Amino acid sequence: MTTPPTVTLPEGMRLLSHEQMRAVHDAVREAARRVGVPGHKADEISYSALAAAGQFVQPPDPEPDTCTALYLPHQAAAVTADILGVWQQCGDDPGHGGDDHDSGDFGWSDSDTGALPAHTADEEKA
């Protein structure tokens, strides 16, 4: 098992643990069943609500075909609502030069709050 990468976020914001996300997911699915809302729609609504409160999901395992740098859009005033709290992966070539990354929807630098730098093949899960 790999140690999850850590991301720096402003005070008061945090990543929920996998256990907390499972609890949220279960509660949302149960509530969705009660009120008759499709579960995937309820998930989307709950993740948006959590992100608005500064509570975010853990980063995904990056796709290996592009640069593995990730960024968490965390400031509601700086990003559009549809990507708030949705992890972005750089779409440039793996191992590209420089500290700047771009997902196509969003550009960032490794030094930005909310950024996770690209990792090398050595660090991939063993």
Closest to Zn ion by CB, 44 or 99? 99
Question: Rounded to the nearest 10 degrees, how much is the dihedral formed by the CA atoms of 35, 74, 121, 104?
Answer: 90
Is residue 72 a contact partner of residue 114, using CB atoms and an 8 Å limit? yes
73 scored as a contact of Zn ion (CB under 5 A): no
Look up residue 67 and give its two tokens.
């640069």
Cα gap 16→22, rounded to integer Å: 10
| Closest to 91 (Cα-Cα) out of 74, 76, 79, 108 | 108
Cα–Cα distance measured from residue 69 to residue 38, given in angstroms and rounded to the nearest whole number: 33
- Which of positions 96-115 make contact with Zn ion (CB under 5 A)? 101
Which listed range, 18-26, 36-44, 57-65, 90-98, lies at the site for Zn ion (CB under 5 A)?
A: 90-98
Nearer to Zn ion among residue 66 and residue 75 (C-beta): 66
Is residue 69 near Zn ion by the rule CB under 5 A? yes
Nearest to Zn ion of 55, 103 (CB atom): 103
* Residue 50 engages Zn ion in binding (rule: CB under 5 A): no
Examine residue 24 and tell whether it contacts Zn ion (CB under 5 A). Answer: no
Please identify, using beta-carbon distances, which residue of 82 and 93 lies nearer to Zn ion: 93
